[in-house]
Structure 1
Amino acid sequence: MANYSKHDARRGLKALRWPLTFTRAGMFAEAFWQATWPLATVVLAALAVLMLGLQDTVMVELVWFAAVVATGAAIGALVYALRTFRIPTRAAALVRLDETLPGRPIQALLDEQAVGDGDAASTAVWRAHQARMAERAARAQPVPADLRIARRDPYALRYVAVLIFAVALIFGSIWRVGSVADMTPGGADGLATGPVWEGWAESPRYTGRPTIYLNDIPEGTLEVPVGSLITLRLYGEVGALTIAETVSGRIGEVPPASAPEQDFTVNQSGEIAINGPGGRTWTVAVLADTAPTIEVLDGPETTALGEMTLPYAASDDYGVEAGEARFALDLPEVDRRHGLAIAPEARPEITASLPMPFTGDRTEFEEALVEDFSEHPWANLPVTVVMTALDAAEQQSETEPFQMILPGRRFFDPLAASIIEQRRDLLWSKDNSTRVAQILRAVAHRPDDVFRREVDQLRLRRVITKLETFASYGLTDEQQEDISRDMWDLALGIEEGDLADALERLRRARERLEQAMRDGASPEEIEELMRELRRATDDYMQQLSRQAELDRQNNEENPRNQQSENQMQMTQDDIQRMMDRIQELMEQGRMAEAEQALRELQEMLENMQVTQGQGGEGQSPGEQAMEGLAETLREQQGLSDQAFRDLQEQFNPNAQAGESQGNEGRDGGQGRGQEHSQGGQGQGQQGDTEQGGEGNEQADGEAQGEGALADRQQALRDELRRQQGSLPGSGTPEGEAARDALDRAGRAMDGAEEALRQRDFADAIDNQSQAMEALREGMRALGEAMQQEQQDAQQGQGTSESDRRAEARDPLGREPGSNGSVGTEEGLLQGEDVYRRARDLLDEIRRRSGEGERPDVELDYLKRLLDRF
């Protein structure tokens, strides 16, 4: 480093040759762009205007003015470029490159020692400094050019010019630039020697196809949609070019073939010919626009409130624009009896616009017409519906008449239904007014037996008075409409009554629960609102049950109105399962899904049809559930007995079916008791068994082949699952305990079914025992829940002496006497079934024997009881 010389410094600068060259080239591009961007902007804008052919659509004077302006702007931009542009020097490039390096090493290499030139030590230091600077300079990289000119072009005119030029490249033509030469003073002479033409084929807007510039289309086949507009422009000497076409089908007054401007519409396939110098001929193939198609997909679906949903499908090659449905009375299909026997008054067709998709493609879609015609005079009468579809070309098609019953609201209350029937007769013809008044008087003859509210009686009396008064002078259309409105409101009030209140409570409960979920309420508040929703749902279901009964009666009288096999019905079990699912979603924090399920439940409740359970009349839901669980327990006991018999016969193959020792049914006999027979039906009388030993064995073998017991176990599990959905006492500790017990019973039944399919009868019997134990526990918890509900129903009453005595009873139902002794054994069985009471006692003994905190003396006593029984 001490021997570093000037020669070494020059050699270090030569190492910067390529970084310096690239830096200088970048500076050249930077200076050139900064000087020429105005000129490039003007040139690109002028070319874009010429390529788009704007000069052909305006006056020549305006074209000349624009040309002068563009030329002046181009000259100004060129002068600006010549004055601004400077070729960058090598020194400037060195300075820019040096500015990117720390310590300015290039400048240091160019410097010379000014002080201490004769001092050896000073010279050595200077050379060491230059050596370090040379090392830094060797690491130099080319400096990129800075092409940003935002400060010079604050309005971004260069981008505007580039955008217009890009549009011209896509939609314009480079050949249009030459048309400006025709506007020069010598251009007319050029046209005289060579006429030119231009043409466009513009497709209808609804097709979405672009406009075709015919000058760019060679001779051959030209495909355009029907209705396309052809525009041709001829320039030069008149008559040098002529046009011949057979696509428009024009007749009458037609412009001459040599007219400079010609427009016509393509209506058919044919030819378009431009005859003359530079002319062309095209064979036009018309792309036909087919008419739309529409069809009714299925019969209407009707809600309980009379809203109709009629599905349909429509399609068109370019999209359906609109549609409508027209309903007309199908008079031949009307049952012409009673008030409908006379000729009806003429009424216009019902016209309803068909809904179209808001977004998406309309070329093929399925939609549904949703309307409510409950108040129309034709409601619940035969009609024919014709649907019509219209496309953008105003082509129209319609369906064949579709026969249906015009859906309307169904009234289940007998009084409301009779008023609606007379309203229909009144709207059928004004001549029925006297008859309608007489029938309504007969309906209201004994008001105490008919009306639930006095206000309904007064409203009906007012309707009868108005009808009789107006009928005596001749009923007008306005009076007919006014009375029919009063009759509708009266029937609606009678029909809804308490049902409307129950529905409103249900809606309020749902809205409160949704709001709580959106506001992030606490789990306790959501649980309380969920219990309120369950109570409101129960009230609403009770109101609907009466209507369901009337609906079944109506179906029995009119078989045509019966539900189809595919129509969905909802039972109380379905509703309970949905509500349990909603509560489960809320507990998991999936509030959005729970809110959606809640809305679906509300819609189904408003539109549902109730199916009655199979419980006995006059029984509460708890009693029905208890009876169903008791039946399930008996059937499970029967299956367990059957599995035990098969287990014995599995290890004793020489025994006849049902004759294993100790294998007697509950009704006696050789294994053919009521719990052993297929389906649980008793066949266990000893006389029958003695007469048909072999026959019964054979029947069992055929009926209970492989998997028969497992199938019965699966069916019993399904029945238990259904009973769980309608279990009362939801939200109470007792009710939840009953549900938990039934869940355990269901899992045990699943295990028993799997074991039976594998012919593992021992494991199956164990699982069946667990299922029966869980069923008994669930029945006990359900009984406690029912008892708690009865106590809650007695508002304002304290715990009576009898209740306190009941709580003090022992498991056998005996009340304690004085000094802890048993007082009496009266009412030991408490009027219940002996076998059921015995099972309950055994369950209670088992429960107490499992409580280790009890005294040893009591536990020994309970153990002896279990060993004995």
Structure 2
Amino acid sequence: MAAPTDPLASVARALWLTRAGMVAERVVRALWLPVSLALIAATLWAFGLQGKLPGDAALWVAGAFAVAIVATLALGLWRFRWPARAEAIARLDRTLPGRPLAALTDQQAINGGDPASAALWTAHRGRMELRAAKARPIGPKPDLAKRDRYALRLVALTAALVAVLFAVPGQQGSLRGAGSAGAAIGPSWEGWIMPPAYTGRPGLYLNEIDRDGFEVPQGSRVVLRFYGPPGALQLEQSLDAGVQADDTGQALEFDARHSGRLAIDGPNGREWQITVAPDALPEISATGPMTRARGGVLEQEFTASDDYGVQAGEAEITLDLAAIDRRHGLSIEPETREPLRLQLPMPMSGNRADVTEMLREDLSQHPWANLPVRVVLHATDAAGQTGSSRAEAVVLPGRRFFEPSAKALIEIRRDLLWSRDNARRAAGLMRAMLHRSDGAFLYDGAPVLIRGAVEFIESRLTTDDGFTPEARDQLASRLWELALLIEEGELANARERLQRARERLDEAMQNGADPAEVQELMDELRDATRDYMEMLAEQAEPVDQGGDQRDQGGDQERQAVSQSQIQEMMDQIQQLMEEGRMDEAAALMAQLNALLDNLQMQRGEGGDPMPGGEAMEGLGDTLGDQQGLADETFQQLQDQFGQETKPGQEGDNGQQGQQPGQQQGEQPGQEEAMRQLAERQRQLRERLREQQLNEQLPGEGTAEGEAGLQALEEADRAMEGAAQALEDGDMRGALERQAEALEALREGLREFRDATAADQREQQGVEGEADTAQGQGQGRDPLGREMGPNGENGQFGQGVPGLDPRERARELMDEIRRRSAERERPETERDYLNRLIEPY
């Protein structure tokens, strides 16, 4: 059989279809623009634009469209080129590996007479024919997106579709009858009721509502469209006073404001009795009195509700002049100030129909701080309606100062903010403060700064501008900073440096700093910590001359021990960071921050022992006993495994054998030991319950006190579970429950210590600054930690005297891992030990 003359006969069909696709592709590229313009023109005509343009404007618009369509059509046809067969071959060949179509159309150029070369060429052509047989047609690729950057073709198609569906009947010309609207015979109408978006309710299509009445939310939008001759259909409604209509009177819109009747008179008319559900006003109220939190922060809990959700809230605070003691600097009329408005916090997500939140704001530097005010809470819903609470008369919380000179400066600052007319009086009062002021201020630089404030006022009183509001506000800021320095001495600056050093080191740890930067930051933290602790020691109230010098020395020793522990922790952090153990360094840094925070809270807390000191000592003893009981339980677990058989010592029926010298009565001895441990655990639980019920724990009524009580309840439940597990012989479960009890007890102690620190600061403000060592309370070191029975504090982070719990935990884990690695131990024991260390 002779070979076909056309080498591409096997791909003729795919080649023909590819070429046809190229033709369609080029036709679309040539005609898309004139067709789009024609569709837009037809849409405008279908909607009757020609009848709405004045004068001859419609002819000019039609002419412009005609010229544009003809011009773009001519340009497209001029650019159109019929695809050649070679172009189709090239496109199809590019989709095949090795370009087989080009190979099939080639001829052997050299060595055609060589039989070996000819055979090689024939084999090559055979492979190419096999590849060519896999050819598939290539579809058209108009790629109009690059040519139509503004998607005009899509606009035209959408407009044409809208014209077919919704163009006014009788004005579509040839489009008549193509859409549902055009199919209507005689007058017709459509209607919708769209509830406000914030209600979340769906819209209603009036044409599909068969019942005589229904309910819609207030503010729903009613939209009606009449088709047919004007006046054939009429609207009657009592839902709103006004109706918005277009020029033809065929498109009507209005809001449903109140219940009433909605009727469409005319062919196919309908009537409904619509009930409008009113949108209720939002409600808001304070759920408790306004309180002053630590640092003078205002706290106000409130609840707000609305049928469709509260959108925003605001607290409006106004000065209550009638309740103010108008004496001294407050005797003159105050300067007019706008009400203080605070945005109420709202949930970021979720349902806002019922909101319970807490407003927190530090207004210590506001002119009205610590003065009587009236507070009104406002809540606004999505409809713009506002509900308000009743006015509450309160004293606006702010920071309180207790050092006499600092308190005097704050009162002078308040008088200046009350009215600038108090400027001369304020200067006189500050001059009086400087009279015989040697040693009168905790901060040595206070006299110089006070004298500067006096000169600041007097120099401006002699100028033409006078004591301006800007100058007054600037002086008020300086007096605030000076009062802080006097109240806390240079401790404020030291604390700020310490906080800055901590933040910089935390950031470096998160970003993976290099060793040089770590060394620099650690040196900065060491210096800041040393300066801060020296300030604490300097500001502690000295011991009376007739006092016990031994106690004073003991306090200094405890302070020194605490500082050495801090330095040791910083050395450990630096070493861990240099070794790349960033997670462990971050955990230790968090413990150091907690220690420094506790040091700050315990600063200068003196006076009589705070309530709850004995209870705290009792909880510390309970924690120590629980730790000891857990150690004994673990020891009992070790003994149990030590008494079981070693490899090869398995008795009859699979029972494990006995160690040499073991008596038959030792198994009951183990049961007796477990029973005794369970009994001791129950006794420890009873002691904890008595401490909860009978002893006065610190922080009653505070968040810290409640959290501490909750932690003790968790410890109580864990102790009960441990006792039950011991009775059942489940030592692993008992150890887990005992660990939970220990953690809960530690958490409770931490919460009670925080509450104690807050109470002591309050007492310090009432009774004056007291000795730092005495302020720690009986049985505590300067950092507020529990002391040992001999006055020695334990390791850092430990609630009871003895070894560092972290060190103890490491030792236990190392021992478990060592035993699990000993191949001579029974398989059951090794499996159990492996299960113990699996979570770690």
TM-score (norm 2): 0.51
2:25 maps to 1:5: no
Counterpart of 1:526, as a letter, is: V
Counterpart of 2:343, as a letter, is: L
Which residue of 94, 99, 102 maps to 2:100? 102
Which residue of 499, 502, 509 maps to 2:501? 509
Structure 1 residue runs of 5 or longer lacking an equivalent are: 110-115, 185-189, 469-475, 551-570, 618-628, 654-677, 680-704, 728-734, 755-869
Q: Residue 499 of structure 1 aligns with which residue?
A: 491
How far apart, CA to CA, are the structure 2 residues paired with 1:257 and 1:44? 26
Q: Residue 409 of structure 1 aligns with which residue?
A: 399
How far apart, CA to CA, are the structure 2 residues paired with 1:88 and 1:634? 96
**C-alpha distance 281-576 of structure 1, shift in aligned 2 (>3 A):** farther
Q: Is the 8 A contact 1:323 1:390 kept in 2?
A: yes
How far apart, CA to CA, are the structure 2 residues paired with 1:522 and 1:583? 11
**Cα deviation 1:58-100 (Å, max 9, x = unaligned):** 6696555545544565566777888998999999988987897
Aligned-pair distance for 1:426?
Answer: 9.2
Which residue of 133, 136, 142 maps to 2:129? 136
How far apart, CA to CA, are the structure 2 residues paired with 1:35 and 1:431? 84
User: Greater CA deviation, 584-593 or 509-518?
Assistant: 584-593
Q: Residue 245 of structure 1 aligns with which residue?
A: 237
Aligned-pair distance for 1:536?
Answer: 1.9
How far apart, CA to CA, are the structure 2 residues paired with 1:582 and 1:172? 75
- 3-state secondary structure, aligned to 1:491: helix
CA RMSD of aligned residues (A): 7.5
Aligned-pair distance for 1:351?
Answer: 1.9
Aligned-pair distance for 1:244?
Answer: 1.0
1:181-260 equivalences under 5 Å are: 181=172, 194=186, 226-230=218-222, 239-249=231-241
Q: Is the 8 A contact 1:241 1:275 kept in 2?
A: yes
Which residue of 298, 318, 323 maps to 1:308? 298
Aligned-pair distance for 1:526?
Answer: 1.5
How far apart, CA to CA, are the structure 2 residues paired with 1:597 and 1:52? 76
User: Greater CA deviation, 9-18 or 158-167?
Assistant: 9-18
**C-alpha distance 21-428 of structure 1, shift in aligned 2 (>3 A):** closer
Q: Residue 663 of structure 1 aligns with which residue?
A: none
Q: Is the 8 A contact 2:47 2:171 kept in 1?
A: no
How far apart, CA to CA, are the structure 2 residues paired with 1:180 and 1:607? 84
1:60-139 equivalences under 5 Å are: 65-70=60-65, 102=100, 136=129, 139=132
Q: Is the 8 A contact 1:105 1:137 kept in 2?
A: no
Q: Residue 148 of structure 2 aligns with which residue?
A: 156
Counterpart of 2:255, as a letter, is: T
Q: Residue 526 of structure 1 aligns with which residue?
A: 518
Q: Residue 746 of structure 1 aligns with which residue?
A: 808
How far apart, CA to CA, are the structure 2 residues paired with 1:536 and 1:88? 83
**C-alpha distance 140-496 of structure 1, shift in aligned 2 (>3 A):** same
The structure with the larger Rg is 1
Q: Residue 352 of structure 1 aligns with which residue?
A: 341
2:369 maps to 1:379: yes
**Cα deviation 1:229-257 (Å, max 9, x = unaligned):** 55657677554332211210459xx9999
How far apart, CA to CA, are the structure 2 residues paired with 1:52 and 1:139? 55
Q: Is the 8 A contact 2:18 2:137 kept in 1?
A: yes
How far apart, CA to CA, are the structure 2 residues paired with 1:257 and 1:250? 16
1:299-698 equivalences under 5 Å are: 305-308=295-298, 310=300, 320=310, 322-328=312-318, 350-354=339-343, 363=352, 369-376=359-366, 378-381=368-371, 383-401=373-391, 405-420=395-410, 447-448=437-438, 450-452=440-442, 456=446, 491-510=483-502, 513=505, 521-523=513-515, 525-527=517-519, 529-537=521-529, 539-540=531-532, 543=535, 586=577, 610-611=601-602
Q: Is the 8 A contact 1:51 1:177 kept in 2?
A: yes
Q: Residue 776 of structure 1 aligns with which residue?
A: none
Q: Is the 8 A contact 1:202 1:228 kept in 2?
A: yes
Which residue of 37, 57, 69 maps to 2:32? 37
2:137 maps to 1:147: no
How far apart, CA to CA, are the structure 1 residues paired with 2:423 and 2:71? 95
Q: Is the 8 A contact 1:243 1:258 kept in 2?
A: no
How far apart, CA to CA, are the structure 2 residues paired with 1:31 and 1:255? 48
- 3-state secondary structure, aligned to 1:379: coil
**Cα deviation 1:171-196 (Å, max 9, x = unaligned):** 88722265643899xxxxx9xx9567
Aligned-pair distance for 1:219?
Answer: 9.5
2:254 maps to 1:264: yes
Counterpart of 1:147, as a letter, is: P
Aligned-pair distance for 1:543?
Answer: 4.5
The percentage of aligned residue pairs carrying the same residue is 35
**C-alpha distance 106-717 of structure 1, shift in aligned 2 (>3 A):** closer
Q: Is the 8 A contact 1:316 1:362 kept in 2?
A: no
How far apart, CA to CA, are the structure 1 residues paired with 2:65 and 2:204? 30
Aligned-pair distance for 1:498?
Answer: 0.9
How far apart, CA to CA, are the structure 2 residues paired with 1:135 and 1:328? 92
**C-alpha distance 466-512 of structure 1, shift in aligned 2 (>3 A):** closer
2:173 maps to 1:175: no
Q: How many pairs does the alignment contain?
A: 622
How far apart, CA to CA, are the structure 1 residues paired with 2:397 and 2:257? 45
1:13-28 equivalences under 5 Å are: 19=14, 22-23=17-18, 26-27=21-22
Q: Is the 8 A contact 2:376 2:391 kept in 1?
A: yes
TM-score (norm 1): 0.50
Aligned-pair distance for 1:395?
Answer: 0.5
Structure 2 residue runs of 5 or longer lacking an equivalent are: 176-181, 459-465, 543-561, 609-619, 640-662, 666-686, 689-722, 728-733, 751-779, 786-794, 817-840
How far apart, CA to CA, are the structure 1 residues paired with 2:124 and 2:626? 106
Aligned-pair distance for 1:325?
Answer: 1.1
Aligned-pair distance for 1:389?
Answer: 1.9
How far apart, CA to CA, are the structure 1 residues paired with 2:271 and 2:46? 25
Q: Is the 8 A contact 1:307 1:408 kept in 2?
A: yes
- 3-state secondary structure, aligned to 2:340: strand
**C-alpha distance 490-313 of structure 1, shift in aligned 2 (>3 A):** same
Q: Is the 8 A contact 2:372 2:396 kept in 1?
A: yes
Aligned-pair distance for 1:308?
Answer: 3.5
Q: Is the 8 A contact 2:101 2:132 kept in 1?
A: no
Counterpart of 1:415, as a letter, is: S
Aligned-pair distance for 1:388?
Answer: 0.7
Q: Is the 8 A contact 1:269 1:285 kept in 2?
A: yes
How far apart, CA to CA, are the structure 1 residues paired with 2:421 and 2:129? 115
**C-alpha distance 222-432 of structure 1, shift in aligned 2 (>3 A):** same
Counterpart of 1:537, as a letter, is: T
**Cα deviation 1:268-323 (Å, max 9, x = unaligned):** 24343332346555665646544334454676675765343546565656665543
**Cα deviation 1:485-518 (Å, max 9, x = unaligned):** 8875653442243123213422453465367558
**Cα deviation 1:129-152 (Å, max 9, x = unaligned):** 6996798279434553453345x9
- 3-state secondary structure, aligned to 1:450: coil
